[in-house]
Structure 1
């Protein structure tokens, strides 16, 4: 695509939904070009919302982490799959009790939003990226799922990127549950599914065509844009490499080495 065409495509974007791990930072390190991108977006009167599938951290933790990196944002500028799951449960299962497979951060986030949690008498299950997972928890959640309780997952990611490689994410947990119970989640609410896009629209007051989804992962970030009408922008600073595009059915509209690559076109 010609430079002028790239510039025109980005011209109508009012808000960038920005993935975090592998896109803006990796572990505790801000990726090259990220700060230049943020400065340019703000200078041109646009907005950024950090949109993450990682439900193992609360929104307040992301605010604090970014502040420690020199990026000051408000809580409304962070949207996590854990928050989306809480909103989905409150809307779809009002007054129902939830067995949560998640760590203390996700527990605090959901309780703060009004979700009623129950270990022994739940009406449904919510599965998150549980970094405190143990065998007893897996047995318990499988019992509930096997018994037919509805079950919702925060996101589908198989691995979570770190500075030293990858660690198993919720996709591996869901595979365990399916192998034991024969059931997949009744609903997944994070990227690339519609629930997180609906929450994004509600949060910004914008329509899909006014927003870009920027990320490093084809099957979550880029598919979110492709499936829901957001401009799909891939950065090659994380999971996806240039050669992966050749064999992928999911194709972004724009590709940059990192966030800084967009700066000249904004």
Structure 2
């Protein structure tokens, strides 16, 4: 579909009629910092009023699920555990299916380390069977050397997500993709598998958690190369909102073309 044929704030083909679950990016789609995007709460209410469901989906593996639960509760929304999909949780699911019982060297901060241990993943900093790299906000030179040693040895090398930068209220900070870049510079290896958006693994985990099919699920987000790509490349309906990072001017140069475009989730309400 050519991007110049997509009408903003409209669903002329009634694609939303078949949607039973909305997988929602968070920052830039539902809120900015600690502030709800205008109409976001009304949108969430409308989704539930029409008998549909929603889940939040984030690539950020530097924060535990409890951080998101607490933040949303401070903002007046209480969600159930199954309504939060993180790249960390999707990575644990992938490990349990593909590397059951294997010992993991985890390049991650204490919050993610605690989650992996709580979810039954055996961690080993000395004699691991494979390497997992995440958005490690506690990264230091000793860790950098150790992860490169294990990757250079040829151990299976899996990453939670691909984002190069993480947006903050004061600008961007290096994210997991930047960590992959320094590992590649030292070892000449890229991750064997990346779990988070836009990749299939986090989509499969989401479908398992929501009990919905691809055709029944919409991926809503403000980033073309992660959120929208996760949708359109995996059989979901990709809905691009202009309330965050990317804008209409970015579409002509993008290989990813959304199915629908809205100024924000507020404009989706009349179509539900």
Instruction: Place the TM-score, normalised by the shorter chain, in its bin.
Output: over 0.9
Q: Deviations over 1:102-144 (max 9, x none)?
A: 0111111111111000111111110001111111111110111
User: Match for residue 3 of structure 2?
Assistant: none
RMSD, aligned α-carbons: 1.4
- The count of residues paired between Structure 1 and Structure 2 equals 266
Q: Which residue pairs with 1:210 in the alignment?
A: 216
Unaligned runs of 5+ in 1: none
Q: Give the conservation status (yes or no) of the 8 Å contact 2:11–2:260.
A: no
- 2:213 and 2:236 map into 1 onto residues whose CA distance is 9
1:14 positional shift: 0.5
CA contact (8 A) 2:30 2:40 kept: yes
Distance 2:179 2:82 in 1: 29
1:147 aligns with 2:153: yes
Match of 2:33 in 1: 27
Say if 2:107 is the partner of 1:86. no
Distance in 2, Cα, partners of 1:34 & 1:50: 13
Partner Cα distance (1:9, 1:164) in 2: 37
CA distance in 2, matches of 1:36, 1:79: 21
Alignment partner for residue 49 of structure 2, among 43, 54, 57? 43
Please say if 1:162 is aligned against 2:171. no
The CA distance in 2 between the partners of 1:38 and 1:6, in whole Å, is 22
Say if 2:10 and 2:261, in contact at 8 Å, map to a contact too: no
Q: Secondary structure at the match of 1:208?
A: coil
Unaligned runs of 5+ in 2: 1-5
- Structure 1 pair 174–36 and aligned structure 2 pair: CA distance change class (3 A): same
Match of 1:229 among 235, 244, 267: 235
Question: Which of 177, 187, 192 is the matching residue for 2:183?
Answer: 177
Question: How far apart in 2 are the matches of 1:34 and 1:134?
Answer: 38
- The TM-score, its normalising length taken from structure 2, stands at 0.94
Q: 2:263 is matched with which residue?
A: 257
Normalised TM-score (structure 1): 0.96
Distance 2:42 2:177 in 1: 33
Q: For 1:14-163, what aligned pairs fall within 5 Å after superposition?
A: 14-163=20-169
Q: Does 1:243 align with 2:234?
A: no
**Partner Cα distance (1:26, 1:159) in 2:** 16
